[in-house]
Structure 1
Amino acid sequence: MSDVASKVFEDTLGRTVLVELKGGRCIRGKLYSFDQHMNLVLEEAEEITSENNTRKLGMIIVRGDNIVLVSPPPAKE
């Protein structure tokens, strides 16, 4: 993981992110931790379905090679 990506993830710890996975699944949760492979631990995670329904997942680990994109929260002011 690049230094820039690592810095963005460090600044995002404890904040809510939206993660899109291969296969079109979307998960929203608070970023608890991450590693150099972009494996993410999310707390209070929930899956967002295409019908905009949510399914609570709790604390989960998302394997980095399944991640298509991570949308960080707006920048702190």
Structure 2
Amino acid sequence: MSSTSAISAPAAPATAPRKSPAEFVTTTIGSHVVVKLHSGIEYHGRLTCLDGYMNIVLEDTHEVADGRVTNKYGDAFVRGNNVLYIAKSSP
């Protein structure tokens, strides 16, 4: 006789309700974020503005490549089609 048993994934932890990407970004304005580009370069700064094309404006921006800060900018504009992801970060 063969016996089969179903393997189920553990239940997802109870967390805050999921947000759409647009809701996440609009509630993130004014917060510190990491913007990672398709090239692998990251920009760390405070999200001040974005538009419908996901063009992003950051303040107090640090450019990070290979884990090292390579440049510092007061303000930075990132074209939306270069963005891989945006994540909240601590200052």
Does TM, normalized by the shorter one, top 0.5? yes
State how far apart, in whole Å, the 1-side matches of 2:57 and 2:30 are.
11
Query: With CA pairs under 8 Å and 6+ residues apart, which has the higher RCO, 1 or 2?
Result: 1
Q: CA RMSD in A?
A: 1.8
The structure that has the greater radius of gyration is 2
Matched, 1:61 2:61: no
CA contact (8 A) 1:26 1:48 kept: yes
Give the share of equivalent positions with the same residue, in percent.
31
Tell me by how many angstroms 1:50 deviates: 1.1
Change (3 A) 1:60 1:53: closer
* Deviation beyond 3 Å, 4+ runs, structure 1: none
Equivalent residue of 2:68, what SS?
A: coil
Structure 2 residue aligned with 1:39: 55
AA in 1 matched with 2:20: V
AA in 1 matched with 2:55: N
AA in 2 matched with 1:63: R
* Structure-1-length-normalised TM-score: 0.81
Structure 1 stretches of 5 or more lacking a match? Answer: none
User: Structure 1 or 2: larger helix share?
Assistant: 1
* Structure-2-length-normalised TM-score: 0.70
Aligned residues between the structures: 72
Superposed CA deviations along residues 20-76 of structure 1, whole A, max 9, x for unmatched, are: 1121111101000111111110011110121423421110110000001111248xx
